[in-house]
Amino acid sequence: MTIPGPTAVAAGLSVSGIGGDRYLFLGFLPRKGSDRRRLLSTVASSEWTVVLFEAPNRVAQLLTDLAEACGADRPASVSRELTKVFEETRSGTLQELSEHYAEAPARGEVTVVVAGTGKERVEEPSVDPAARAKALLAEGLSRKDAANRLAEETGISRNKAYRLVNEL
């Protein structure tokens, strides 16, 4: 059991068994949409350990999404009710944890710790949405399909992608 402190982040890191000398705290991820996908990608590519909070009824889905983004074998831990009587920490791969919490839903306050890659993150050059939209239209995609693909590839909103495609 951990000793009570000012934040579940420190407590979760201390019991996770995952290196916490440098970490990234993302709090609660959005439930859906491009912001969620972008933050899942951030977790997947982070060289540092990542700490997340999640509502107990959404832990299994978060772990499934993380396994898809980071790879099923990425080490992680899930801690619940830190510093309380029913404190529990389970460690394993994202796949193992996802399967466990799909069958035995978490209860209480949940802190998820995901191991980093250990490799320095290399930023990919950003894609110019207008140039990519032109290329998609040149491939013969309809304006609707081009807008959907542009939003997916660049992370911009579907509305913005649709406006951009229609302005060309």
Q: Can you give the pLDDT at residue 93? A: 96
pLDDT for the residue numbered 125: 54
pTM of the model: 0.70
Percent of the chain with pLDDT over 70: 93
pLDDT computed for residue 124 by the predictor: 59
Please, are residues 53 and 110 in contact by the beta-carbon 8 Å criterion? yes
With cut-offs at 50, 70 and 90, classify the pLDDT of residue 34: confident
DSSP element (H, E) containing 92:
strand 88-93
Pairing relationship of beta strands 23-28 and 49-54 according to DSSP bridges: parallel
Q: Is residue 32 part of a domain?
A: yes
The answer to the question of residue 15 being in a domain is yes
Same domain? For 75 and 146 the reply is: no
Residues 73 and 136 grouped into a single domain: no
Question: Of 114, 137, 154, which residue sits at a domain end?
Answer: 114
pLDDT band at 69 (very low <50, low <70, confident <90, very high): very high
Residue 21 and residue 90 in one domain: yes
Residue 113, judged by CB atoms within 10 A of its CB (0-12, 13-18, 19+), counts as buried
Q: Is residue 154 part of a domain?
A: yes
| 35 and 101 co-located in one domain | yes
Q: Is the dihedral of CA 158, 166, 150, 148 positive or negative?
A: positive
pLDDT score, position 5: 62
Residue 9 banded pLDDT, cuts 50, 70, 90: confident
Residues 86 and 162 occupy one common structural domain: no
- Residue 162's domain comprises 129-167
Q: Please check whether residues 31 and 84 belong to one and the same domain.
A: yes
Count of the separate structural domains present in the chain: 2
> How much of the chain is in helix, strand and coil states, percent to nearest 5?
45, 15, 35
| CATH code: domain of residue 64 | 3.30.950.10
Residues 87 and 150 reside in one and the same domain = no
The string of pLDDT tens digits covering residues 107-161 is 988 999 999 998 775 555 577 888 999 999 999 999 999 999 888 888 888 899 9
CB atoms within 10 A of CB 104: 10
Q: Give the three-state DSSP class for 75.
A: strand
Domain-embedded: residue 123: no
Q: State mean pLDDT over 48-55.
A: 96
Q: 140 φ, ψ to 5°?
A: 100, 10
Report whether pLDDT(3) > 80: no
